[in-house]
Amino acid sequence: MLSTKTRLHLEALIKRLSKGQSVTLQQRLELHKYAKRFPMIAGKLKTALN
């Protein structure tokens, strides 16, 4: 289960990606780590990148 703080942080990163703003490699790795474990994050990330 994700904490609220972590979920909000990841959603902010996904929002930045969807807007075409810069996201560091470390942040992308963090997103990947959580996307592998949580389908909700993976779905939001996939939607943002399309």
| pLDDT score of 17 more than 90 | yes
What pLDDT is recorded for position 32? 96
DSSP, residue by residue, 1-50: ---HHHHHHHHHHHHHHHTT----HHHHHHHHHHHHH-HHHHHHHHHHH-
pLDDT in tens, 22-32: 999 999 999 99
Domain boundaries, the chain: 4-49
Residues 10-35 have a mean pLDDT of 96
What pLDDT is recorded for position 1? 86
| pLDDT score of 7 more than 90 | yes
Q: What is the pTM of this model?
A: 0.89
